[in-house]
Amino acid sequence: MKAIVFEKYGLPGKVLKCKEVAKPIPKENEVLIKIQATTVNDYDWSLVRGKPYLLRLMYGLSTPKYRISGMELSGTVEDIGSNVEKLKVGDAVFGDISKYGFGTFAEYISIHENAVIKKPDDLSFETAAAIPHASTLALQALRDIGEIKEGQKILINGGGGGVGTIGLQLAKLKNCEVTGVDSREKLDMMLSLGFDYVIDYKKVNFTKTEEQYDIILDCKTNKSTFSYLRALNPNGRYVTIGGNLFNLIRILFWGKFVPLFSTKRLQILGLKPNEGLDYICELVKQNKIKLKIDGPYRLEDTPSLIQYFGDGKHKGKIVIKMRA
């Protein structure tokens, strides 16, 4: 089978190669999935480069533990292990597999059956692949941690990516006013999707304006901890889903102490993969959420697409289709 493989850490264009590798055989609790579509995520950008270096403690100090990256898929079950109970051959499935491993930049993957769920019949494979990771990040950040309420004032830092474009639509279901922060090249697209206001991050630091927000959903974590507090309303909540590692550590540290002197909150989302997917899929089927897909592209394009993601040029969710 074809797969995008890397043997050492480095820039995607230099270390990723499209190769023929052995087709996996499912273990007793695994399913063999013929992948139809996959996506690019922040994990891929980090894993391939081995940065931040702290990641190497989990995924290999000098050489990668996982030779094939990728964490999101849609596809069809082709074979099952002896102890598989929830799925059968022929089932169409999708999901964020990161709880059980990586390896979706390939034509096939063998993964624990609990890593995926059945795909709704009325969703295409490309659409299904684009849903799990970004949508559950946005949903869990806004609903479960942010406790979003009707008519609130929301800011999304990194509004033009997969999480941002879905987060916008979830906020609009609550009639919220939503400001999006991203690069100048994405602002027109963001306005067309429904953002009330947009900010070019290169020109304006949103934490230094006089505006304050009920919820800040941060996909970047590229500002100082106390600047976020300044940008929150009383009782406001800052929720980050990822970004600069050292800033995340500061958020984690100060998040424990801020409640001692403030009604504001700083929190990091610990994602529960695939939790809430049924709800999101229902919203997609009802056209209450429309996915912004960048692509679909070919598997062979993966190295340049991961670099494209890392450069922050993607608009919405980058989707890779395995077969024409």
Could you read off the pLDDT of 80-137 as tens digits, one per residue? 999 999 999 999 999 999 999 999 999 999 999 999 999 999 999 999 999 999 999 9
Q: What is the DSSP string of 121-187?
A: TTS-HHHHHHSHHHHHHHHIIIIIIS---TT-EEEEETTTBHHHHHHHHHHHTTT-EEEEEE-GGGH
pLDDT class for 246, splitting at 50, 70, 90?
confident
Tell me which residue of 81, 129, 134, 148 sits closest to 242, measured CA to CA: 134
Which two three-digit tokens encode residue 13? 């264009």
Asked if 228 and 266 touch (Cβ cutoff 8 Å), the reply is: yes
Dist. CA 160–CA 285, nearest whole Å: 22
Dist. CA 80–CA 161, nearest whole Å: 35
pLDDT class for 314, splitting at 50, 70, 90?
very high
pLDDT at 184 over 70: yes
pLDDT at 324 over 70: no
pLDDT at 51 over 80: yes
The three-state secondary structure class of 219 is: coil
Q: What is the mean pLDDT of the chain?
A: 95
pLDDT at 163 over 80: yes
Mean pLDDT for 204-218 is 97
Strand partners, 197: 179
pLDDT at 65 over 60: yes
pLDDT at 305 over 80: yes
Which two three-digit tokens encode residue 174? 């609550």
- Helices 132-139, 162-172: axis angle to 10 degrees equals 50
Which two three-digit tokens encode residue 32? 């063999």
Which runs of consecutive H residues, i.e. helices, occur in the chain?
A: 12-15, 42-49, 56-59, 125-130, 132-139, 162-172, 187-193, 225-230, 245-257, 277-285, 302-310
Instruction: Report pLDDT for 53.
Output: 87
